């Protein structure tokens, strides 16, 4: 392999990682919690799995789905007569509210999973010490 192809491959791998490192971390969370849910299903593992899935969807929605979804919704709801209030409402909901909502729901689920696990551990410690 020539030096320029090798260098371009390294740059491509670096750019792929630097562009998608958030997706890789969410995907790692999905894989780990899916494995935990399969091996030993608990509320903790399922809540965490749902949280990482919502965060992964949130990232992809933010990155790739907002514009086509907004355009499709506008084309289907506003056919002939322009409705500027409806268009502004659709823009606000699809481009501003939903991304924040998905992100918040994902992190809330992960936070709830951690809280649930810590409460469960405290109960186990109390029952062992008694």
**So where are the chain's domains?**
21-129
Whose structure tokens read 């939903």?
A: 98
**What pLDDT does 108 receive?**
98
d(CA 88, CA 9): 44
The terminus-to-terminus CA distance of the chain in angstroms comes to 67
In order along its 130 residues, the chain shows pLDDT tens digits of 788 888 999 999 999 898 899 999 999 999 999 999 999 999 999 999 999 999 999 999 999 999 999 999 999 988 888 889 999 999 999 999 999 999 999 999 999 999 999 999 999 888 888 6
CA 11 from centre of chain: 26
Closest CA to 43 of 33, 28, 29: 33
Closest CA to 78 of 65, 89, 67: 89
**What pLDDT does 33 receive?**
97
Q: pTM for this one?
A: 0.86
Per-residue DSSP letter, 82: -
């Amino acid at each position: 392999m020539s030096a320029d192809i090798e260098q371009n491959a390294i740059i491509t791998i670096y750019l792929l990682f630097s562009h998608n490192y958030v997706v890789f971390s969410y995907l790692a969370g999905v894989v780990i919690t899916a494995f935990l849910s399969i091996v030993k299903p608990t509320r903790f593992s399922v809540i965490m799995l749902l949280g990482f899935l919502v965060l992964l969807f949130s990232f992809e929605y933010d990155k790739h789905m907002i514009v086509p979804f907004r355009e499709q919704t506008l084309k289907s709801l506003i056919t002939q007569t322009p409705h500027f209030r409806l268009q502004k409402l659709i823009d606000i909901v699809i481009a501003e509210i939903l991304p924040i909502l998905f992100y918040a729901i994902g992190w809330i689920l992960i936070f709830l999973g951690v809280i649930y696990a810590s409460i469960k551990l405290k109960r186990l410690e109390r029952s062992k010490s008694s």
